[in-house]
Chains A and B, each alone.
Chain A
Amino acid sequence: MTLVLEAIVLGILTGGVYALMASGLTLIFGVMRIINVGHGALVVLGAYLSFAVWRALHIDPFLTLVITMPVMFVLGIVLQVVFIRPLKTDREGLSVLVTYAIALGIEGLLGFFFTSNYVQLRVWYADSSFPIGSFRITYVYLYGFLLCLAILAAIFLMLYRTTFGASIRATMLNRTAAQLIGIDVDRVSAIAFGIGMATAAAGGVVFGITNAFNPGSHYDLISRLLTIIVLGGLGSLRGAIIAALVMLVSEDITSVLISPVWASFVFFVILVLVLLVRPQGLYGVRVRDRL
């Protein structure tokens, strides 16, 4: 029982990171109607950027975000303008290929600069922990969770309390109508992609502190993130967050009750079960036309 309880707590703590990464992905989908298959690679890129900054400046890996988040934000805008904006016809299909190509390019470049050996971001307090009841929680998991929570809160405030957030939500609801009332959807799309990338940078730091990673790590990440956003309903932030927590908690419970090798399998089992009942995902809206 204690093991299960511990798994639940750990699942929620790691689920926070996945919630943040999946929010970026689902935001990008919502605004642009594109599936960013490269999101996992962007998270790994964020982790490597932090790794490079950390190695050069010897500061706490969490602090590297001050540099990597703006860098990734700008990079996101550049990627959107250069590669996503030119897609005029069949955005959904072509965007999958384009973002996949971006993922491959990032994987290749990271492999060239950092080799394919596994690395991990180390904090000096990596092994210190505090007790809760009969088990212990390491501080890094808690800090990572709190960081993700803070960024998620910032995103929600931005979306629901600012004019720019309103234009993002308008674009998500109806691109054409948003354009008609004078919203510059191209600008909104570019900035949304930048925000997605910045969240990937933050997710990357937490991922890199709690996991060893290499340039090929993005396949595992993207399969999980895509499953999460489908489960939550494409384009739904709330759905993504809840789905991330559900998935990670079930994964950790499976890990202790059955076996760690079957942990990721639960992801797919839940996906299949949910699709049987609600093909549109937890919070998705069933669009008769194209979803």
Chain B
Amino acid sequence: MRSLPRLRLIQGAGVVAVFAVAIAVPALAPDPATTNIAVFTMMYIGLATAWNIMGGYTGYISLGHAGFFGFGAYALGLLLARFGVAGGYPPFLLVPVAGLLTAVLALAIGWFALRTRAATFVIVTIAFMFMLQLLAENLVGITGGGGGLSFPIPNWSGDFFNTPYYYVMLLLATVGLGASWLIRHSKFGLGLLAIRDDEDKALAVGVPTRAFKLTAFVISATLVGMIGGVYGYYVTYIYPQFVVDPLIGISMVLMVFLGGLGTLSGPVLGALILEPAQLWLAYNFGASRLYLVFYAAVFLGVILLLPRGIVPSALDLLERWRNRTGPPASRPATPATPAKAVAP
């Protein structure tokens, strides 16, 4: 612990540097092909960070977040159509409203889903996702059903087109990371980690587990809903299977697992590695469906070789290197150890 202030300094400088690079991306690589990748990568940084607030901190694995993503997209699209908002910057102002609507939905779904735990919870979230997909399909009068929903298209020039979306995604990802950091350093966050480690004991020592879980669920879903809204506006046309896509839901989960479940930087790292790789695979092998096989292979490799994720594994290595003169760090091997709670 002797070098803690120095470590803090390095961490602070690192965060500033990463942000500076993130802000400069559209200026450094202005061609639309690159900024398109940047928009999607930033989107997944936000999604993975948001998912981690629920999945990483409380240990409740939701595979249904694609439902909130699609709901947010539909909410924004329908708001824009309802109020006749033209393309440009104004639609972004309605993103928080889409988020608010997603929050209300998440409160209702969470109230049901969080009556269950562990495996049952996972399945219930999947069921709710398909339920939302089916509603988007069947409520033709509201959503347009399988015919899809179009967004207004801004009249920005080709080279500039992606840039505003990129910065809005960056803003949402920053909000997500800020929320994640604040939660992590609050009593609320400690309560969530206690739920992950042992929910019944947490309840016994006075953590209001139900309220805490529901709050984390709603925060996580709201962020995902807002990002979904911006995504819908970016791709300009959505339909149920496309926007309530189980693959989107599983991608954010995989990114969190790759980077490190329950860490702050893990989801960012996971998204930075996987999303460009995913886009590259889809671009090169998309036609033959073989990209799914490659994606599955990456997936299996990550989980079987790095079950705890990059950040916790790297921290372990660092710890061992620091204590190389002393006995090896006696850290229990299970992922749900309190030791992990202090990882960055």
Q: Which of B131, B291, B293, B299 contacts A265 (CB 8 A)?
A: B131
Closest residue of chain A to B334 (Cβ to Cβ) is A89
Contact indicator A275/B116 (Cβ below 8 Å)? yes
A18-52 residues at the B interface, CB under 8 angstroms: 29, 33, 35, 37
Contact indicator B200/A289 (Cβ below 8 Å)? yes
Closest residue of chain A to B293 (Cβ to Cβ) is A108
Nearest Cβ distance between residue B338 and chain A, in whole angstroms?
A: 15
Q: Does A241 contact B (CB under 8 A)?
A: no
Closest residue of chain B to A102 (Cβ to Cβ) is B296
Please judge, given known A-B contacts A101-B296, A227-B123, whether A265 and B253 are in contact too, CB under 8 Å.
Answer: no
Q: Does A10 contact B (CB under 8 A)?
A: no
Contact indicator B130/A90 (Cβ below 8 Å)? no
A residues near B117, Cβ cutoff 8 Å: 290-291
Cα-based distance from A79 to B326 in the complex (angstroms) = 41
Please tell me which stretch of B94-102, B228-236, B300-308 contacts chain A, meaning at least 4 of its Cβ atoms lie within 8 angstroms of it: B300-308
Contact indicator A219/B246 (Cβ below 8 Å)? yes
B residues near A102, Cβ cutoff 8 Å: 296, 300
Interface bits B27-46 vs A (CB < 8 Å: 1, else 0): 00000000000000000000
B residues near A279, Cβ cutoff 8 Å: 115-116, 120
Nearest Cβ distance between residue A219 and chain B, in whole angstroms?
A: 6
Nearest Cβ distance between residue B260 and chain A, in whole angstroms?
A: 13
Cα-based distance from A229 to B124 in the complex (angstroms) = 11
B104-150 residues at the A interface, CB under 8 angstroms: 112, 115-120, 122-124, 126-128, 130-131, 134-135, 137-138
Please tell me which stretch of A59-67, A91-99, A128-136, A183-191 contacts chain B, meaning at least 4 of its Cβ atoms lie within 8 angstroms of it: A91-99
Closest residue of chain B to A229 (Cβ to Cβ) is B123
A residues near B200, Cβ cutoff 8 Å: 288-289
Q: Which of A97, A262, A268 contacts B250 (CB 8 A)?
A: A97
Q: Does A281 contact B (CB under 8 A)?
A: yes
Contact indicator B289/A105 (Cβ below 8 Å)? no
Q: Which of A107, A267, A275, A288 contacts B124 (CB 8 A)?
A: A275
Q: Does A151 contact B (CB under 8 A)?
A: no
A residues near B138, Cβ cutoff 8 Å: 261-262, 265
A residues near B297, Cβ cutoff 8 Å: 105
Contact indicator B253/A97 (Cβ below 8 Å)? yes
Contact indicator A226/B126 (Cβ below 8 Å)? yes
A residues near B116, Cβ cutoff 8 Å: 230, 275, 279
A side interface size, CB within 8 A? 53
Contact indicator A96/B296 (Cβ below 8 Å)? no
Cα-based distance from A108 to B299 in the complex (angstroms) = 14
Nearest Cβ distance between residue A126 and chain B, in whole angstroms?
A: 29
A residues near B336, Cβ cutoff 8 Å: 90
Q: Does B13 contact A (CB under 8 A)?
A: no
A residues near B293, Cβ cutoff 8 Å: 104-105, 108-109, 112
Cα-based distance from A109 to B112 in the complex (angstroms) = 37
Contact indicator B296/A105 (Cβ below 8 Å)? yes
Contact indicator B254/A97 (Cβ below 8 Å)? yes
B side interface size, CB within 8 A? 49
Contact indicator B118/A101 (Cβ below 8 Å)? no
Closest residue of chain A to B294 (Cβ to Cβ) is A108
Q: Which of B112, B137, B250 contacts A100 (CB 8 A)?
A: B250
Q: Which of A101, A116, A226, A227 contacts B300 (CB 8 A)?
A: A101
Contact indicator B296/A227 (Cβ below 8 Å)? no
Q: Is the interface of A mostly helix, strand, loop or mixed?
A: helix
Closest residue of chain A to B304 (Cβ to Cβ) is A86
Q: Does B75 contact A (CB under 8 A)?
A: no
Contact indicator A90/B307 (Cβ below 8 Å)? yes
Q: Which of B112, B118, B119, B288 contacts A276 (CB 8 A)?
A: B112
Cα-based distance from A166 to B202 in the complex (angstroms) = 37
Nearest Cβ distance between residue A211 and chain B, in whole angstroms?
A: 17
Please judge, given known A-B contacts A93-B61, A97-B250, A265-B138, whether A107 and B123 are in contact too, CB under 8 Å.
Answer: no
A residues near B188, Cβ cutoff 8 Å: none
Contact indicator B300/A98 (Cβ below 8 Å)? yes
Q: Does B333 contact A (CB under 8 A)?
A: yes
B residues near A215, Cβ cutoff 8 Å: 289
Nearest Cβ distance between residue A47 and chain B, in whole angstroms?
A: 17
Q: Does B257 contact A (CB under 8 A)?
A: yes
Closest residue of chain A to B308 (Cβ to Cβ) is A89
Cα-based distance from A236 to B244 in the complex (angstroms) = 31
Contact indicator B333/A89 (Cβ below 8 Å)? yes
Q: Does B295 contact A (CB under 8 A)?
A: yes
Nearest Cβ distance between residue A119 and chain B, in whole angstroms?
A: 15
B residues near A90, Cβ cutoff 8 Å: 307, 334-336
Q: Most chain-A CB neighbours within 10 Å: which of B112, B123, B127?
A: B123
Q: Which of B63, B137, B303 contacts A94 (CB 8 A)?
A: B303
Cα-based distance from A108 to B294 in the complex (angstroms) = 9
Cα-based distance from A33 to B120 in the complex (angstroms) = 11
Point out residues on B near A: beta carbons under 8 Å.
Answer: 59, 61, 63, 112, 115-120, 122-124, 126-128, 130-131, 134-135, 137-138, 200, 246-247, 250, 253-254, 257, 288-297, 299-300, 303-304, 307-308, 333-336
Could you list 23 A-B pairs, sorted by A, with CB under 8 Å? A89-B333, A89-B334, A92-B119, A97-B257, A100-B63, A100-B250, A101-B295, A101-B296, A101-B300, A104-B293, A108-B290, A108-B296, A223-B130, A226-B127, A230-B127, A261-B137, A262-B138, A268-B131, A271-B124, A276-B112, A279-B116, A289-B200, A290-B118
Identify 17 new A-B residue pairs, CB closer than 8 A, beyond the known A94-B307, A97-B257, A265-B134.
A29-B119, A83-B300, A90-B336, A97-B253, A98-B299, A101-B296, A101-B300, A102-B300, A104-B292, A105-B293, A108-B293, A219-B246, A264-B130, A265-B135, A271-B127, A275-B112, A280-B120
